[in-house]
Amino acid sequence: MFKPHLDKYGTEFPHWESAVARFKAAHNQSEVARSIGTQPQLWINKLSPEQSGEPTVKNVIAAARVTGDCTLVHGLLLELDMAGIALPKSNHQGDEQPLTSQALEITATAGELARDAISAQQAGRVCQQRRDNAVSKATAMMGALALFVHNVESRFHAIPGMTVAFDTLTTSAVPGIS
Residue by residue, DSSP assigns 23-72 as: HHHHS-HHHHHHHHTS-HHHHHHHT-TTSS----HHHHHHHHHHH---HH
Confidence of residue 177 (pLDDT cuts 50, 70, 90): very low
Boundary (domain end) residue, out of 48, 79, 110: 79
Domain count, the chain: 2
Mean pLDDT of 169-174: 52
The answer to whether residues 109 and 71 belong to one domain is no
Nearest-angstrom CA–CA distance, 29 and 18: 16
Nearest-angstrom CA–CA distance, 73 and 86: 11
Task: Give the model confidence (pLDDT) of 38-77 as tens digits.
Answer: 999 999 999 998 888 899 999 999 999 999 999 999 999 9
Answer whether 0.75 is exceeded by the pTM: no
Residue 6: inside a domain: no
Residue 3: inside a domain: no
Residue 88: inside a domain: no
The answer to whether residues 110 and 72 belong to one domain is no
Predicted pLDDT at 167: 52
Nearest-angstrom CA–CA distance, 78 and 70: 12
Residue 177: inside a domain: no
- CA angle at residue 81 from 76 to 87, to 5 degrees? 65
Task: Give the model confidence (pLDDT) of 83-108 as tens digits.
Answer: 887 765 655 455 677 888 888 989 99
**119, 146, 122: which is closest to 133 by C-alpha?**
119
**Structural domain range at position 146:** 99-171
| Numbers of helices and strands, H then E, in the chain | 8, 0
